[in-house]
Chains A and B, each alone.
Chain A
């Protein structure tokens, strides 16, 4: 697999949404390609940050809930 192809699949790989065969190919590529492995790490890091952003958003939602 090319790096371009793998990077398009990284979000789906992260969420476990790839078919088994495709997942294996992505995994094999990630073990050999440091750049794509870094991209995968970045995806995981962003997911953690999104969770943090969600907590901040939730606070504003509580404010809205109080008005309803």
Chain B
């Protein structure tokens, strides 16, 4: 069993050698090596998707897309970042989205700085977050307030930052790089997420 520790490591931490060798083998076309990588990371990816989307159906889609993305991009992996980075939704994935859609409700995460000029790398995750948590795949009316404007509701990016910092142990500087934003914006996300988590989990805890 391969222990996946890279995401929990400190900034710049490298993978363990066993994972590196599997990646190299998979890059050379070894299907067994790729399957071992998938097995090593699949629960982390699935858990992350579930935490972000809160919908098994959407989580499964993201999970499958993530490993498809890994498969397609594996040849370009240069061992200078976490392997998990390959599986995360990247900015480029959403470049084909209409600009108006991407910027529609976006006001930036931070109160200042360059947050307002950010891309929204996880814009598609909002679709899943609008699903009703009680209904089976019901979608809330389009007139519903955006996640960001609902009191006590964290948006997908805030949940992503919280997930990566609190559960995966990544530093905010690295999270900012992964999400294509600044460390400052990631700090703002983490602050908002922790505040909202108190509210969201109030009944659950």
Chain A interface (Cβ < 8 Å from any Cβ of B): 8, 11-12, 15, 17, 43, 46-47, 49-50, 52-54, 56-58, 60-61, 63-65, 67-68
Contact = CB atoms under 8 A, between A and B. Distances in A.
Interface in B151-184: 165-167, 171-172
Interface of B: 42-43, 46-47, 50-51, 56, 59-60, 63-64, 165-167, 171-172, 187, 190-191, 194-195, 197-198, 201, 204-205
Secondary structure dominating the interface of A: helix
A17 B60 CA distance: 33
Contacts, number: 59
B175 to A, nearest CB: 10
Contacts of B171: 17
B204 A53 contact: yes
A67 B187 contact: no
A12 to B, nearest CB: 6
Contacts of B195: 11
Secondary structure dominating the interface of B: helix
A15 to B, nearest CB: 6
A46 to B, nearest CB: 6
A40 B150 CA distance: 26
A47 B167 CA distance: 10
A65 B46 contact: yes
Contact of A49 (B50, B187, B205): B205
B126 to A, nearest CB: 20
Given A12-B190, A12-B191, A17-B187, A68 B201 contact: no
A64 B32 CA distance: 24
Nearest to A52: B205
20 contacts: A15-B166, A15-B172, A15-B190, A17-B165, A17-B187, A46-B194, A46-B198, A49-B201, A49-B205, A50-B197, A50-B201, A53-B201, A53-B204, A57-B47, A61-B43, A61-B59, A64-B60, A65-B42, A67-B60, A68-B63
Nearest to B193: A11
Nearest to A56: B204
Given A46-B198, A50-B197, A15 B165 contact: yes
B167 A54 contact: yes
Nearest to B194: A11
A43 B194 contact: yes
Nearest to A42: B198
